[in-house]
Amino acid sequence: MKKVPVQFTLNGEEKAEFVESGVTLLKALREKIGDTSVKAGCQQGTCGSCAVIVDGELRLSCLTLAERCGGAAIETTGGLAHGEVLHPLQRAFNEGFATQCGFCTPGMIMAAKALLDHNPQPSREDVVEAISGNICRCTGYEPIIQAILAAARANSLSAA
């Protein structure tokens, strides 16, 4: 199968790779670029473990073809921290016990970031809706909801 060049930014860094033209963004990120923070949970679009942000919008990397992301700005949880300084969402998930097995966490944090980027002060209902496509089978939804609300509060404090 023919390989095609694809170029995008990943967490602000320029990336260029040759990929099979029908390959998913999930596989391109994990197997070509080496960002394994993006997880393959179902590859059906039902679990949200592979969620990434493409040009500001939450997307499922398992159902997105890499070639169609040419020129895009892609964000993943793997690039969210600045060195040892955690993003407020990461800090809130860490301190609030909002992660158990950890497999859903990167996708969950991306869904939460997509929410806060558009809606910095969400209601609880907004949060529930925002993570409604992400499954946590350790069933830790309540700490996750609380962590996202805590991160939103921390953001508003630092902005004030």
Partner 1 sequence: MELRKEYFADERKDDLKEIGQPRLRADALGHVTGTTTFFADRNLPGLLHLKMVRSPHHHARIRSIDLSEAGRHPGVVRILTADDVPHNVYTILTLIQVGPEDETVLATDKVRWKGEAIVAILADSERAAHEAAQKVKVDYEVLPAVLSIDEALAPGAPVVNEYHGQNFYRYDSGECRKVRFGDVEAGFAGADHILEQTYGSGPIEHAPTETTGCIVMPEGSGRFTCYTNTQAMFFTLDNTSIILQMDGAKLHMVGGTVGGGFGGKVDVTVEPIAILGAKLTGRPVSFIYSREEEMQISSPRAAEKLVIKDGVMKDGRIVARYVKAYIDAGAYSRHSPYGAQKSAAHFPGPYTVENVWVDSYCVYTNRTPSSAMRGFGVTIGDFALEVQMDKLARLVGMDPLEFRFVNAYRDGDMKAHRQPTEGAALIECMQEASRAAQWPVAEKYLQMSSARREG
Partner 2 sequence: MGLGLETFPTLAAAGEALAANAAARYLGGGTLVVRSANEGDVGFETYVTASERALTDIVVADGRATIGAGVTMARIAREPALGFLAPAARAVGGPAIRNMATVGGNLFAPVPYGDFAVALLALDASLDIDGEPVAVSAFLAGRDTTHAGALVRSVSFTLPAEGSFLFAKASRVRPKGASVVTIAAVVEERAGTISSARIAYGCMADRPIRAPAVERALAGKARTAEGIAAALAVATEGTAPPTDAIASAWYRGEVLPVHLKRLLLPA
Q: Rule CB under 8 A: which residues touch partner 1?
A: 30-31, 34-44, 46-47, 49, 76-78, 80-81, 86, 89-91, 93-95, 97, 99, 101-106, 109, 135-138
Provide, rounded to whole angstroms, the least separation between the CB of residue 89 and partner 1: 8
- Type of residue at 149: L
What is 126-157 written as a DSSP string? HHHHHTTT---TT--HHHHHHHHHHHHHHHHH
17 binds, among partner 1, partner 2, none (CB under 5 to 8 A by kind): none
Q: Which is nearer to partner 1, 7 or 46 (CB)?
A: 46
Bridge partners, 10 (sequence order): 13, 74
Which residues on adjacent β-strands are paired with residue 74?
A: 10, 54
**Of these partners, partner 2, partner 1, none, which one is at the site of residue 119 (CB under 5 to 8 Å by kind)?**
none
Residue number with CB closer to partner 2 (5 or 97): 5
Looking up tokens 């179902």, which residue turns up? Answer: 42
| Least separation in angstroms between CB 72 and partner 1 | 19
CA distance 86 to 109: 12
Residue 113 to residue 44: CA distance in whole angstroms: 22
Evaluate whether 144 touches 98 at the Cβ level (below 8 Å).
yes
Judged by the rule CB under 8 A, the positions of this chain that interact with partner 2 are 1-2, 4, 20-24, 43-45, 48, 51, 57-60, 62-65, 67-68, 111, 114-115, 128-134
Q: How far is the CB of 85 from partner 2 (least distance, A)?
A: 27
Interacting partner of 45 out of partner 1, partner 2, none (Cβ under 5 to 8 A depending on kind): partner 2
- Quick check: 19 and 6 in contact, CB under 8 A? yes
In this complex, which beta carbon is closest to partner 2, that of residue 39 or of residue 159? 39
Q: Report the relative pairing of strands 51-54 and 57-60 from DSSP bridges.
A: antiparallel
Closer of 40 and 86 to partner 2 (Cβ): 40
